[in-house]
């Protein structure tokens, strides 16, 4: 009896071999069970959804992938479909292949497409060091120079005009630096603005005119703004509005939180007025009314006017997004900046604004996406973007009656651009996360 008692053990002395987890608890089967067939109600919804998806794909996939890609008119396209399938219930993608250049470049001269292509490639390279910190920092010089290169490549002429604008910014920065010793940000800013506009409006045009006549360096065929269109004009207006609205929105957000009555009143008035007016109204103002307030004989490029109005519109919304990020910061961050002895601008640059911008990333990118999609509104003021050109193409007798193919293509182009911005914002949020949840 004692031997039996001594042989009893309640703790296992040998290790068991590791067994694989049940198939129902890992992998795709677990995901399907938990997300698609978790209970009778979810199972019914899943089966109904699968049936609906099947019916939609069964009707749309043959239409999408069984269409015609090579034809010169809708009539010819339908004839090919009748010969191939006995009906015309398929897409006529030939309108895309036949009018591809027009949808992308608008009425830009076909011999100058290389300039638009080069500008697009340079834009991607210039954005790289801004979006990704792993890219060499030396490319930031291209980022600074790209706006002036873009104007020269797209609109043509000599290089002296864009260089003159760049010199104006350089002189403004120099004036700001020289007056910075006065310890007054307002005086420095006003001095920089006065010097820049003095150069751009008085001195610069005289020098540029002389250089154009004596030394026409880098002369490209001049292209008027009315010849711009398609996806190219959407990218120009969208990227310009995005690049300018973010810094202007930061200034407006800080101005709205300022203790200076005049500054706060101006910023609040600007933000509330712009947010209360539809963008299409501002575009009509830029197109029709702005010339009435300019001196006689003054030429103000329509594309530039649209970029200014789109920037103002986006910056008002951007200011509120950033103000939300500033309001989300705890008061201790401001007190910590004061305890370190930082002045207002150093505190904003080193402590406050980086945190506020990180908090505001979803709202900022949402504003950017809305701005890029709103570029299609320029069709109402005579600028032929992709939607405007789709109307012009359908007005042609050869393609009268084409609808879905053009709109699907345009929607796909905008979806790719907006989805890329959305994915980048999510990647940036994950990269900047400081919590460990």
The string of DSSP codes covering 27-79 is HHHHHHHHHTSSSHHHHHHHHHHHHHHHHHHHHHHHHHHSSB---SSHHHHHH
Residue linked to tokens 């830009």: 108
Instruction: Give the C-alpha separation, 247 to 154, whole Å.
Output: 25
pLDDT of residue 294: 65
Cα angle at 279 between 276 and 285, to 5 degrees?
100
280: which 2 tokens? 């299409």
Q: Which of 434, 421, 430, 353 lies closest to 131 in space, CA to CA?
A: 421
Q: How many CB atoms lie within 10 A of CB 301?
A: 11
Instruction: Give the C-alpha separation, 306 to 371, whole Å.
Output: 12
251: which 2 tokens? 């200034």
Residue linked to tokens 């519109």: 313
User: Within 13 Å of residue 354, how many CA atoms lie on the same side as its CB?
Assistant: 10
Decide if 163 contacts 148 (C-beta within 8 A): yes
pLDDT of residue 7: 58
pLDDT of residue 400: 86
pLDDT of residue 298: 63
pLDDT of residue 322: 92
Element of type H or E holding 114 = helix 113-131
SS3 157: strand
pLDDT digits (tens), the chain, 437 positions = 455 555 556 676 777 777 777 766 767 778 888 888 888 898 899 999 999 999 988 888 888 887 888 888 888 888 888 888 777 788 888 889 888 899 999 899 989 999 999 999 999 999 999 889 888 989 999 999 999 999 999 998 888 888 888 888 888 888 888 877 666 667 777 888 888 888 888 888 888 888 878 877 778 888 888 888 899 999 999 999 999 999 999 999 998 988 888 889 999 999 999 999 999 988 888 887 777 766 666 677 888 889 989 999 999 999 999 999 888 888 888 888 888 888 878 888 888 888 888 888 889 999 999 999 999 998 888 888 898 888 888 888 888 888 888 999 999 999 999 999 999 999 988 888 766 55
SS3 149: helix
365: which 2 tokens? 């990118």
- Strand-pairing partners, residue 157, are 220
């Amino acid at each position: 009896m004692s031997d039996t008692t001594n042989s009893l053990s309640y703790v296992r002395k040998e290790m068991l071999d590791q067994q694989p987890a049940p198939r129902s608890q890992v992998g795709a089967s677990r995901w399907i069970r938990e997300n698609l067939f978790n209970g009778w109600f979810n199972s019914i919804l899943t089966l109904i959804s699968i049936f609906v998806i099947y019916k939609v794909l069964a009707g749309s996939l043959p239409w999408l992938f069984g269409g015609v890609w090579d034809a010169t008119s809708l009539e010819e396209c339908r004839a090919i479909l009748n010969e191939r399938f006995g009906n015309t219930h398929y897409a006529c993608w030939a309108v895309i292949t036949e009018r591809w250049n027009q949808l992308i470049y608008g009425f830009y001269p076909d011999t100058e497409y290389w300039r638009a292509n080069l500008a697009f490639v340079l834009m991607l390279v210039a954005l790289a060091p801004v979006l990704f910190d792993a890219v060499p920092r030396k490319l930031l010089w291209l980022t600074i120079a790209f706006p002036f290169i873009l104007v020269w490549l797209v609109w043509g002429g000599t290089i002296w005009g864009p260089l003159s604008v760049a010199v104006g910014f350089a002189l403004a920065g120099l004036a700001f630096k020289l007056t910075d010793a006065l310890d007054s940000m307002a005086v420095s800013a006003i001095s920089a603005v006065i010097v820049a506009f003095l150069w751009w409006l008085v001195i610069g045009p005289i020098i540029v005119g002389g250089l154009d006549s004596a030394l026409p360096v880098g002369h490209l065929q001049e292209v008027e703004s009315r010849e711009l269109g398609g996806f190219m004009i959407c990218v120009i207006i969208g990227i310009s509005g995005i690049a300018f609205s973010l810094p202007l929105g930061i200034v407006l957000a800080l101005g709205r939180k300022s203790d200076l009555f005049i500054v706060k009143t101006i910023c609040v008035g600007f933000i509330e007025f712009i947010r209360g007016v539809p963008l299409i109204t501002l575009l009509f103002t830029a197109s029709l009314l702005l010339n009435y307030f300019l001196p006689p004989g003054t030429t103000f490029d329509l594309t530039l006017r649209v970029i200014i109005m789109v920037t103002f519109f986006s910056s008002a919304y951007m200011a509120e997004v950033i103000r939300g990020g500033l309001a989300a910061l705890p008061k201790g961050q401001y007190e910590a900046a004061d305890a370190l002895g930082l002045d207002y601008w150093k505190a904003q640059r080193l402590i406050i604004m980086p945190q506020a911008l990180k908090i505001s990333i979803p709202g900022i990118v949402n504003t950017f996406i809305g701005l890029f999609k709103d570029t299609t509104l320029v069709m109402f003021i005579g600028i032929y973007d992709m939607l405007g050109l789709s109307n012009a193409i359908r007005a042609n007798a050869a393609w009268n009656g084409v609808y879905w193919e053009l709109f699907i293509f345009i929607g796909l182009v905008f979806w790719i651009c907006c989805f890329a911005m959305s994915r980048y914002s999510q990647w940036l949020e994950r990269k900047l996360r400081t919590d460990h949840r």
